[in-house]
Structure 1
Amino acid sequence: MVIYTLNQYFKEKFGEKVYKISIDAGLTCPNRDGTKGEGGCIYCDNSSFVFTKGYSIKDQVLKGIERLVKKGVNRFVIYFQSYSNTYCNDEYFIDMIKESLIDDRIVGIFIGTRPDVINEKKLQFLTQLIDRYDIFMEYGLQSAHDKTLKFINRGHSVDDFEKAVLLTKSFGLKITTHLILGLPYETKSEMIDSTKYVASLGIDAVKFHHLHIVKGTKLAELYIKNQLKGFKLLTEDEYIELLAEGISYLKKDTIIARLVGDAPKNLLIAPDWPKNKADFTNKFYSYLKNHDIFQGKYNQ
């Protein structure tokens, strides 16, 4: 095994492929509504991954199941994806989870959110579901450097993230973390340090993304107006090199849930890669083989 993927994890746990059903629960973020800031993260445009807005949670699940069953899928994960899905009162959170669990073929719940909008009551509720569902709290970190988090308008600190991780672990829940490689003004060593930091906390799964610039974001405005002085986007080869080094510091049983990001072509400004995810993956695996790199190489 060169890397441990989410598909491998699902096959080991459930004996077959499992597909996600993305849900929009109608929530927002504290750095969008003025609580901590406005405008959200400078790179964020949720329209690049939200396709179900306007439907009830139950209807979104039903539509997702109907679509996937036609493809021969028998197991599903409910994925609360857009914005911060714990940024609500406890009662609404509990209700939205319950509303989504309408089919016996649902085997997991993935909850995307921020580390600064979680509390004990929500986590305590989720512990009641652990015996029946595979549950992952999915916390966006993006970088383990506060200077970067401030620049990208995350509205939380690295310490906030660590506190959320420790709290979540105390309830026995699994954690996925997002990391972006190529954020403005980070050095390559700083990007690798972010992966090392996540590994040190014993995170269960990591989603890697390359920085891409999409229309309608603050980052796009800065990029188009040439206000990011001295900043250059990573090339595909540079990203692969960084990604390969990063995974060598992860434990062998850490799930790599994503290798590279994507965005709709009609929204994407830059970069112009990957052209094709399958081609990217093959290129990445070839790089690992040619350089004798594998997950856990430096974290046995």
Structure 2
Amino acid sequence: MYYSLNKYLKEKYGEKVWKVPVDAGFSCPNKTGNSGGEGCIYCDTASFTHVERGEIADQVKKRIEKLRRRKINKFIIYFQSGTNTYGDIQTVKSRINSSLIDEDVVGIHIGTRPDCVDENILDYLSELNEKYDVTIEYGLQSAKNSTLKFINRGHTAEEFAWACKKTKAKGISVCAHIILGLPGESRRDMIETADFVAGIGIDSIKFHHLQVLKNTKLAELYIEKKFNLLSQEEYIDILSQFIARLQPDVVISRLIGDSPEELLIAPEWPSSKSDFVNKLNKFMEKNNLYQGKLYTG
């Protein structure tokens, strides 16, 4: 019904490949003042989970040692926390290069923003792409500029499209991050975001359901009852429609968000990821929906 990341990796490498999350110490322009100052209204960087402590090389070494004990032998370095191209080219090079300490690393995934790439950084990542499978993960969240302004993203949908075009021109894969259920967005708005990213020609996508975390502006709005969260049933319905509008070869890297219980205010679903996936699969099968069915090209 959809092209999962696990399926893609098995087809490409013939075995399990596991991500090694890294905190490289990058900050975010949306928090330092260059692009907004207060950060996105939903963001709490403590919600980035499963990262080891210490220097970058030590983080990678510790995680790979644990994974090898589980008989996993190929790895993707995932620069997860912060905006991982937010710095001068030498800083970016130094931090990424320091993670490449193991011969069984096959890929590098770099989480960043569309307003934090330039030709120097893309040229460097293009060079790395000759040896590793490099993917840049750009946060978009919504294609509706009024929503982006409300959530204080600090960039536009047009800037996202520009960054994707520049990145793909260098032969580097692009992953889009989308949040479904943002305040003020209708079902139609979310479907229009699906058509927008499908039209750009992304390579992979990560979906997140809107989660309200402690110590965020979104939490204040939620407590004041300024918006409603999607139910699990509503989310599954919209997600299914979104997936059906994507090209069949776009890799679905994530279906729902994941935040630590101690930070999460709402929603209470899903009870488990496996339960969610089962419900999604049943819904898509019942409604004869599959990836690419509604893609218009």
* Amino acid in the other structure paired with 2:186: T
Gaps of 5+ in 1: none
| 1:246 aligned partner | 242
Q: Tell me the equivalent position of 1:233.
A: 229
* Residues 53 and 222 of structure 1: CA distance in aligned 2, closer, same or farther (over 3 Å): farther
Indicate the percent of aligned positions where both proteins have the same amino acid.
49
In 2, the alpha carbon distance for the partners of 1:36 and 1:210 equals 24
Partners of 1:239 and 1:106 lie apart in 2 by: 35
SS in structure 1 at match of 2:32: coil
Q: Which residue of 2 aligns with 1:264?
A: 260
Are 1:50 and 1:82, in contact at CA under 8 Å, matched by a contact in 2?
Answer: no
Query: Which one-letter code corresponds to 1:96 in the other structure?
Result: R
The answer as to whether partners of 2:194 and 2:242 remain within 8 angstroms in 1 is: yes
Aligned to 1:55: 54
CA contact (8 A) 2:20 2:64 kept: yes
Query: How far, CA to CA, are the matches of 2:76 and 2:39 in structure 1?
Result: 27
More displaced stretch, 81-90 vs 44-53? 44-53
How far apart are residue 51 of structure 1 and its match? Answer: 4.5
**Correspondence for 2:100:** 101
* Residue matched to 2:84: 85
Paired residue secondary structure (2:107): strand
Contact 1:251 1:299 in 2 (8 A): yes
Task: List gaps (5 residues or longer) in structure 2.
Answer: none
Conserved 8 A contact 1:26-1:53? no
Q: Residue 164 of structure 1 corresponds to which residue in structure 2?
A: 163
2-structure distance, mates of 1:256, 1:298 = 16
| C-alpha contact 1:20 1:79 (8 A) present in aligned 2 | yes
Secondary structure of the corresponding residue to residue 132 of structure 1: coil
* Dislocated runs of 4+, deviation >6 Å: none
Q: CA deviation at 1:72?
A: 1.3
1:121 deviates by 0.7
Distance in 2 (alpha carbons) for counterparts of 1:51 and 1:241: 30
Are residues 1:280 and 2:276 paired? Answer: yes
Q: Superposed, which structure 2 residues align to 1:104-253 within 5 Å? A: 104-226=103-225, 228=226, 231-253=227-249
**Counterpart code for 2:273:** K
Deviations along 1:212-238, one digit per CA (max 9) or x if unpaired, are: 101111111221233x1xx21000000
TM-score normalised to structure 1 length: 0.96
Instruction: For 1:288 and 1:123, locate their aligned partners in 2 and report how far apart those are by CA, in whole Å.
Output: 38
Matched pairs, number? 296
Q: CA deviation at 1:53?
A: 6.8
Q: What is the TM-score with the length of structure 2 in the denominator?
A: 0.97
Amino acid at match of 1:117: C
Aligned to 2:73: 74
Q: What is the match of residue 22 of structure 1?
A: 21
Q: Distance in 2 between matches of 1:210 and 1:27?
A: 25
- 2:223 alignment partner AA: I
